[in-house]
Every structure is written in C-alpha cells, then in structure tokens.
Amino acid sequence: MSVVNKLKTAAGSTARNIGRNISNLNINEWNNNSDKILETFMRMSFEQNPEARKDLTNTDDSVITHKNQQGIEQDNGRFSRLLTKLREEFKSLLPDTDSIKIE
C-alpha cells in the first residue's frame, strides 16, 4: 500500500509515525507547509462530518485545548489554534439569528 493511501485513513498519531518514516522527505519544506496541510485536512474532515462541525461551532467562544494526560498543551498549541480558526470560519457561515424577526 502506498504512503498516500495509508495516510488517507490514518489517525493523527499514526499519520505522524508514517510521516517520520518517509525517505527523502524535505523536512524544511514540510515544516514550512505543514500548518496549511493540517488545516486543509481538518477543514475537509469537518465539511464531511456535519455533526462534528456542529459540535465544534457549539463550543461558542470557549478556549479549545489539546492537552496530554499530564495537562500539557500538545504540538505547541497548533492543533488548538487551527480548531479555533476553523470554528470561527464555520460560525461565520451560519445564518445570523439576531436579524431574524419572529412575528
């Protein structure tokens, strides 16, 4: 099975392990582009899963964290920042309920 096919179905930690074993990977190029790639995959996941997207937008303005069992923020907060960014993006697409008049 190709690396690409493995990554299509891999969970985050599994994908990370697969990535670490890619030969000839340009680490600098990956580091320069990984945030955008992760954001794109996260967006696609939420677009394909409306229930998860609703759960995300329903967090309102709560602080999103991604901590390990010791309570330490993972990945320097990148995952949390991307979730927060996507939440705001998806919330901006929701209808403005304040402007709806009920008569």
d(CA 42, CA 80): 12
* pLDDT, tens digit, 9 for 90 and up, residues 20-47: 888 888 989 988 998 998 899 899 999 9
* pLDDT, tens digit, 9 for 90 and up, residues 76-92: 899 999 999 999 999 99
In this prediction, residue 97 has a pLDDT band, given cuts at 50, 70 and 90, of low
pTM for the model stands at 0.75
Mean pLDDT of the chain: 88
